[in-house]
Amino acid sequence: MGLHAIELPRRILVGSGVISEFTGFLEALGLSGRVLIVSGSHVRGSIGSRIVNVLAKSHGIPIWVEVEAATLDEVERVQRTAAREEVAAVVGIGGGKSVDVAKVAAYNTGLPLISVPTSASHDGIASPMASIKGMDRPYSMICHAPLGILADIDVIANAPVRLLASGCGDLLAKITAVRDWQLAWEDKNEYYGEYAASLALLSARFVMRRAEEIGRREIDGVRGVVEALISAGVAAGIAGSSRPCSGGEHLFSHALSLITPGVGLHGEKCGLGAIMVSKIQGDEWKGISDSLRKVNAPTMAKQIGLTEEQVAKALVMAPSVRPERYTILHKVSLDYDSALRLARETSVV
Q: How confident is the model at residue 123 (pLDDT cuts 50, 70, 90)?
A: confident
**Mean predicted lDDT score pLDDT of the chain:** 92
Angle at 158 between CA 155 and CA 160, to 5 degrees: 125
pLDDT of residue 232: 94
Q: How confident is the model at residue 18 (pLDDT cuts 50, 70, 90)?
A: very high
Interior/surface letters 45-73, b for 16+ CB within 10 angstroms, e for the rest: ebbbeebeebbeeebeebbbbbbeebbee
Domain covering 11-157, topology: Rossmann fold (3.40.50)
Question: Could you check whether 11-157 and 161-345 share the same CATH topology?
Answer: no
Q: Which amino acid is at 304?
A: I
Q: How confident is the model at residue 341 (pLDDT cuts 50, 70, 90)?
A: very high
Q: What is the pLDDT of residues 52-104, one digit of tens each?
A: 999 988 888 999 999 988 888 899 999 999 989 889 999 999 887 889 999 99
* Other C-beta atoms lying within 10 Å of the C-beta of residue 198: 12
Write down the domain spans for the chain: 11-157, 161-345
Q: Percentage of the chain with pLDDT > 70?
A: 98
Q: How confident is the model at residue 231 (pLDDT cuts 50, 70, 90)?
A: very high
pLDDT of residue 2: 64
Q: What is the pLDDT of residues 314-331, one digit of tens each?
A: 999 999 999 999 999 999
Q: How far is CA 272 from CA 19, 93, 174, 211, in A?
A: 34, 28, 13, 16
Q: What is the pLDDT of residues 136-163, one digit of tens each?
A: 565 577 888 899 999 999 999 999 999 9
CATH of domain 161-345: 1.20.1090.10
pLDDT above 60 (res 1): no
Q: What is the pLDDT of residues 163-187, one digit of tens each?
A: 999 999 999 999 999 999 999 999 9
Could you give the 3-state DSSP secondary structure of residue 240? Answer: coil
Q: Where does 180-298 show beta strands of DSSP type E?
A: none
Q: What is the pLDDT of residues 203-227, one digit of tens each?
A: 999 999 999 999 999 999 999 999 9
The candidate with the shortest Cα–Cα distance to 118, out of 37, 179, 33, 203, is 37
| 9-26 mean pLDDT | 93
| 103-132 mean pLDDT | 89
User: Regarding beta strands 129-130 and 90-94, do their DSSP bridges make them parallel or antiparallel, or are they unpaired?
Assistant: unpaired
Phi-psi region of 60 (alpha: psi -120 to 50; beta: other; left: phi over 0): left
CB 307 within 8 A of CB 206: no
CB 190 within 8 A of CB 337: no
Which residues fall within 8 angstroms of residue 3, CB to CB, at 6 or more apart?
Answer: none
Q: How confident is the model at residue 247 (pLDDT cuts 50, 70, 90)?
A: very high
pLDDT above 80 (res 3): no
Q: How far apart are CA 189 and CA 106, in angstroms?
A: 34
